[in-house]
Homo-oligomer: A and B are copies of this chain.
Amino acid sequence: MNWENIFASRTSRMKASEIRELLKLLDQPDIISFAGGIPDPDLFPTEDFQKAFAAVLSDERQTAALQYSVSEGYAPLRQWIVSQMAKLEIECEIDNVFITSGSQQALDYLGKLFLSPGDTALVAWPSYMGALGAFNAYEPEYGRLIATGNRSAADYRQAAQNNNSRVKFAYMSVDFANPTGETMDLTSRHQLLDMADELDIAIIEDAAYQSLRYDGEVIPPILALEIARKGDINSTRTLYCGSFSKTLSPGLRVGWVCASKEVISKLVLLKQASDLHSSTITQMAIHEVASKGFDQQVAKIRSSYAARRDCMLACLEKYMPEGVTWTRPEGGMFVWVTVPAHLDGAELLAQSVKTQKVAFVPGRAFFADGSNGNTLRLSFSQADEPMIDEGIKRLGALLRSAA
């Protein structure tokens, strides 16, 4: 059977990521890896989860934990999220909160909700590659979103029209973005809101790393700014995507969307048709652990990751040759490195793995047009300080010899 004959047209954009395949091979003990953007498992609240699963399976929740449930998500968890959102100046009700299987699913559903083939999605250059992967299934065109307000709504509209397309949303990772580690400043958030109002499009605010701030001043979420402007979440166009993956556990796959009721009700229909609901017991366990000690857990992670970030920034200063630059994130997991223009991240990775036993993610995969090959993403969440020092030292040696 020639399957290509009957696959949908979208599958032409679904390719195995070469990088991901390469990185699979790197899961070896002698490699110092700055590649995977994944939490340090030593920081998981494992004991709390032991207690939580035992509790929900032994008290009055035990039947609901194993039975079919509603597509909206577990109500007590949604209510807990309402109270967290309030701390971020996002006043909302339970009907403004929708539980997803990780925030990756939120990105998939929002692509599904808005994108018909050929529609334009505005994305940052670079963007989280998982967002591009999710949107690709709905066959959009991409427009380059400039965070600094140097481009007007008319420019974006014209660029889309030149492609026989129309803009549907702007997607933005706002705090300590994956992959750059950068944070969108207050002025840029307001400019994005102005532009979205003028274009009459949605804003997808990816807040996966929001809790992981190590220093600097908290900047209100775009959704909070828009509620302040318009008076009510149900009049807003911002779709806030949150996640427990970076704070409690990624393996349980629990995230959420906070947005106007009209959008939430559509997402519920979408979920009903695509997986009925997220696993009930994992939602209950997340609720149990979050309501008993979310802030302490976040404080523990912050303190550990902040030290690693400091170490990585100090080591970059110490070991990198001239011509190499990098970002200075106030939180999150990533530092974004730019190397001289004649170097290529993928080639550097191949060399680095062979000669230095150090891994990272080449930057090209984060650009919708595959440009900017001379960039690398380094994650500091998984290596301890001595390993960071050794790894950056080796990387510095590699770049010195490659330059």
Which of A63, A65, A136, A200: most chain B CB closer than 10 A? Answer: A65
Asked whether, in the complex, the Cβ of A114 is within 8 Å of the Cβ of B66, the reply is: no
The reply to whether the CB of A1 lies closer than 8 angstroms to some CB of chain B is yes
How would residues 276 to 293 of chain A score, 1 for a CB under 8 Å from any chain B CB and 0 otherwise? Answer: 111111100000000000
List the number of copies, as a whole number: 2
Chain B residue at minimum C-beta to C-beta distance from A56: B53
Q: Which residues of the partner chain B approach A364 to less than 8 Å between Cβ atoms?
A: none
Q: Which residues of the partner chain B approach A54 to less than 8 Å between Cβ atoms?
A: 50, 53-54
Asked whether, in the complex, the Cβ of B116 is within 8 Å of the Cβ of A10, the reply is: yes
A266 to B137, CA, bound (A): 12
Asked whether, in the complex, the Cβ of A11 is within 8 Å of the Cβ of B66, the reply is: no
Shortest Cβ gap from A381 to chain B (Å): 12
The reply to whether the CB of A341 lies closer than 8 angstroms to some CB of chain B is no
Q: Which residues of the partner chain B approach A90 to less than 8 Å between Cβ atoms?
A: none
The reply to whether the CB of A108 lies closer than 8 angstroms to some CB of chain B is yes
Shortest Cβ gap from A240 to chain B (Å): 15
Instruction: Point out the residue from B50, B67, B169, B201 that lies within 8 Å of A57, measured CB to CB.
Output: B50
Q: Which residues of the partner chain B approach A15 to less than 8 Å between Cβ atoms?
A: 269
Chain B residue at minimum C-beta to C-beta distance from A234: B1
Asked whether, in the complex, the Cβ of A253 is within 8 Å of the Cβ of B235, the reply is: no
The reply to whether the CB of A178 lies closer than 8 angstroms to some CB of chain B is no
How would residues 188 to 204 of chain A score, 1 for a CB under 8 Å from any chain B CB and 0 otherwise? Answer: 00000000000011100
- Given known A69-B251, A249-B66, contact A275–B102 (CB-CB < 8 A): yes
A101 to B119, CA, bound (A): 29
The reply to whether the CB of A148 lies closer than 8 angstroms to some CB of chain B is no
Shortest Cβ gap from A275 to chain B (Å): 4
The reply to whether the CB of A49 lies closer than 8 angstroms to some CB of chain B is yes
Instruction: Point out the residue from B62, B115, B133, B279 that lies within 8 Å of A252, measured CB to CB.
Output: B279
How would residues 27 to 62 of chain A score, 1 for a CB under 8 Å from any chain B CB and 0 otherwise? Answer: 000000000101101001010011001100110001
Chain B residue at minimum C-beta to C-beta distance from A20: B272
The reply to whether the CB of A366 lies closer than 8 angstroms to some CB of chain B is no
Asked whether, in the complex, the Cβ of B115 is within 8 Å of the Cβ of A8, the reply is: yes
Shortest Cβ gap from A22 to chain B (Å): 15
Shortest Cβ gap from A4 to chain B (Å): 9
The reply to whether the CB of A25 lies closer than 8 angstroms to some CB of chain B is no
> Can you give 29 A-B contacts (C-beta < 8 A)?
A1-B200, A1-B236, A3-B260, A3-B262, A3-B263, A6-B169, A8-B112, A8-B116, A11-B113, A11-B266, A14-B269, A14-B270, A14-B273, A16-B269, A20-B272, A46-B63, A46-B66, A50-B54, A50-B57, A53-B54, A66-B251, A68-B250, A108-B273, A112-B137, A134-B274, A253-B277, A253-B279, A278-B279, A279-B282
